[in-house]
Amino acid sequence: MTNERKQARGGAGRWLGPLLWVGGSFLVFYVVFFDPVNVHRVDTWLQARLGYHAGLMTAAGAGEREVLFYRHPMDPTISSPVPAKDEMGMDYLPVYAPAAGSAEQADHAIRAGTTVSIDPVVVQNMNVQSAVVERRDLTHEIRTVGYLEYDQGRMVTVTTKYTGWVEKVYVNYVGEPVRKGQPLFEIYSPELVQTELELLSAIEYAKKFAMNSATNSATNSENSADDARRRAEALADAARTRLSYWDIAPEQIAELEETGEIFRTLKVVAPSSGLVTKRMPGLEGMAVKPGMETYLIANLSSLWLSVELFEDQLAWIGERTPAEVTFTYFPGETFHGRVRFIEPEFSAKTRTLRVKLEIPNPERRLRAGMFATVRFQPVAAREAITVPSLAVLRTGQRNVVVVDLGEGRFAPQEVILGHQGGEYVEVLEGLAEGDRVITSAQFLIDSEANLQAAIQKMIAQRQEAMSEPTGDGEGGHAQ
C-alpha cells in the first residue's frame, strides 16, 4: 500500500512540474510584454535592449528614427516621456524625431511658420480641394416675410361734387373689375340739369348773334351784335367749365352740345381701371352729397409688399433698394421689387419697422393678402478679397485657413475676417489675391501642422540645451 502511494505521488509530480513551469512562463511573458500593471521600467529596459515598445508589437531596427515622446491616443496635448496607457487601456502613440538633416528645416519652420508636406497619393485619397482667393463684391443677405396690399398711390375714390339721387347702378359688388370710363351709376341732380340748360341757351344765343352780325351792315349794329355774341360764348364756356369741375367727362359734354337734348340723369364713370374694393351699400335710390364715398377702386398694375425689419437690418436698407420676392402660389418664380416707403417709427412691441416695397403686377396675377418671402442683398463690400466660408477654421479665438503652396505642401495661415455674404467671407489681413486655400480636409492638415509645430519646438529646445556648455565643461576648458 505504501509503495502504491509513492508511485502515485511520483506520477503526479512528473506532470505537475512541467505544467507549473509553462504557466509561470506564460504569466511572466504576459506581464512583461502586455504590461497590465504599468511596469514601465521593464518596458524601458526592453526598448533599450531589444528596440521593443510594449503594446504596439513593432520591432525597432537599428535604422529607425528616435522616439521623442509618447502622446495620448485621443488628446495630442497630453504626452509622456515613457510608454504609458490611457484611462481606457489604450497605448500612447510614439512621436519620432524628423529624419537626419532636418534641424535647419525645423528652425526655419519655427521662424517662418509650419509647413506640412503630404504625398500626392494621400492628398488624392483625402479628397483635398482648394479654391483661389479672388476679389468680388460681397452682399449682406437679409431675409424676411411680408404680405401684399394695395398700392395706396393707385387707389381712387369715386364721389360727387354736387347733390343728387342715384337712380341706376351698374357695378353692384365688391371685387368686380372695372375699366377706365366704364359707367358706375346714373344720377339725377337739379344743379346739373340747370347747368346743362345754361350751356345750351348760351350756345343758341351765340349762334343767333353771329347770324345777325353777318346780315347787318350798320357799324353800330355790328358792334352790338359782336358784343352780345362774345358774352353768349363766355357764358357757354363758363357752363362747360362748371360741368368739367363736376367731373363730367368731355365726351358727355360734347354729346350734349351735338344733340341739344338735356340729360335728365348723367352717368358717373370710373376714373381709372382696377378692382372695386369698397362700395356704398344700398346705393341705388340713395341721396348723395358732395364728398360722399360711393366706390373705392384700386389699380392692380402694381402692389405694395409690407415687410418688417429689425434695427440692425435697417442700416442696409434705403429707398429704391432692390429685393427678390417669392410666393408659394407660384413655385419656381421670382418677382422683383424696390423699396418705396420706410415708415418713420418703430413698433414699441415688436421693435421692428415697416417697409413698403413696390411690386409690378402687369399680368394681374398677384392679389392683396398674399404671403411672400423677401430677400434683400445690398452690397456690403466692393472689390473685397474673399475666400469660401468653408475654408475658414474658426476656433473661437482666431480664424485660420490652410494655404496650398503646391507640390503637396500646405501651411496654416491666421487671417482677420470682415463681412460675410452668402458662401464667401472677406479677408482683411493674411491673404493676397491669387493665393489658393484648402476648402476640404483642412482640419486634418491643420492638426498635423500643429503637431509638427510642437515637435519642431521640442527639437529646437533640445538642440539649444545640447549646445549650451555645462559648468564642468567650462572648468575643464579653463584648466
Select from 230, 260, 292 the last residue of a domain.
292
> Could you tell me the pLDDT band of residue 78, with boundaries at 50, 70 and 90?
confident
| pLDDT value of residue 144 | 95
At residue 54 the predicted structure's pLDDT band, cuts being 50, 70 and 90, is very low
Per-residue pLDDT tens digits for 210-238: 776 666 554 555 567 677 778 888 888 88
* Residue 19 belongs to a domain: no
Which pLDDT belongs to residue 35? 55
**Interval 312-346: pLDDT, tens:** 898 889 899 999 999 999 999 999 999 999 999 99
pLDDT reported for residue 61:
40
pLDDT of residue 101: 43
Q: Are residues 308 and 270 in the same domain?
A: no
Indicate whether 225 and 321 sit together in one domain: no
| Cα–Cα distance for residue pair 160/146, rounded to 1 Å | 36
Full domain range(s) for residue 192: 160-292
Final residue belonging to a domain, choices 292, 319, 347: 292
Q: Quote the cell numbers at residue 363.
A: 399680368
Specify whether 278 is located in the same domain as 303: no
CA-based nearest residue to 40, from 4, 76, 84: 84
From residue 83, alpha-carbon distances to 28, 91, 460 in Å are 19, 7, 23
9 domain-assigned: no
The residue that leads in pLDDT, 304 or 37, is: 304
Residues 275, 340, single domain; the answer is no
Model confidence, pTM: 0.56
In a domain, 202, yes or no: yes
The number of distinct structural domains making up the chain is: 3
Residues 391 and 417 reside in one and the same domain: yes
Residue 73 belongs to some domain of the structure: no
Q: Partners of 427 in the beta sheet? A: 417
In this structure, is residue 62 part of a structural domain?
no
Alpha carbons 225 and 219: distance in angstroms, whole number: 10
Query: d(Cα 398, Cα 412) in Å, to the nearest integer?
Result: 12
239 and 331 share one domain: no
Asked if residue 402 lies in contact with residue 445, where contact means CB atoms within 8 angstroms, the answer is yes
Of 276, 292, 308, the residue at which a domain comes to its end is 292
Give yes or no: residues 169 and 273 share one domain: yes
Answer whether residue 140 shows pLDDT above 80: yes
H or E stretch including 335?
Answer: strand 335-342
Residue whose cell numbers read 355790328? 222
Among 71-75, 128-132, 152-156, top mean pLDDT goes to: 152-156
Q: With contact defined as beta carbons under 8 Å apart, do 391 and 438 qualify?
A: yes
Q: What is the dihedral of CA 458, 109, 415, 446, to 10 degrees?
A: -60
Cβ atoms of residues 97 and 66 within 8 Å = yes
- Residue 34, pLDDT > 60, answer no
Number of neighbouring beta carbons within 10 Å of residue 382: 9
Q: What is the CATH number of the domain that holds 460?
A: 2.40.420.20
Q: 187 and 282 share a domain?
A: yes
If asked whether residues 194 and 275 sit together in one domain, one would say yes
Measured CA to CA, the distance from residue 274 to residue 301 in angstroms comes to: 8
Alpha-carbon torsion (112, 116, 119, 123), positive or negative: negative
Residues 226 and 257 occupy one common structural domain: yes
Q: 305 with 417, same domain?
A: no
* 161 close to 245: Cβ distance less than 8 angstroms: yes
In a domain, 199, yes or no: yes
Is residue 30 situated within a structural domain?
no
Calculate mean pLDDT across residues 183-204: 90
One domain, residues 263 and 194: yes
Identify whether 43 is part of a domain: no
CATH of the domain at 362: 2.40.30.170
Q: Name the band, by pLDDT with cuts 50, 70 and 90, for residue 391.
A: confident
Q: Provide the terminal-to-terminal Cα distance of the chain, rounded to the nearest Å.
A: 87
CA distances from 201 to 189, 250, 295, 335 (A): 19, 19, 34, 58
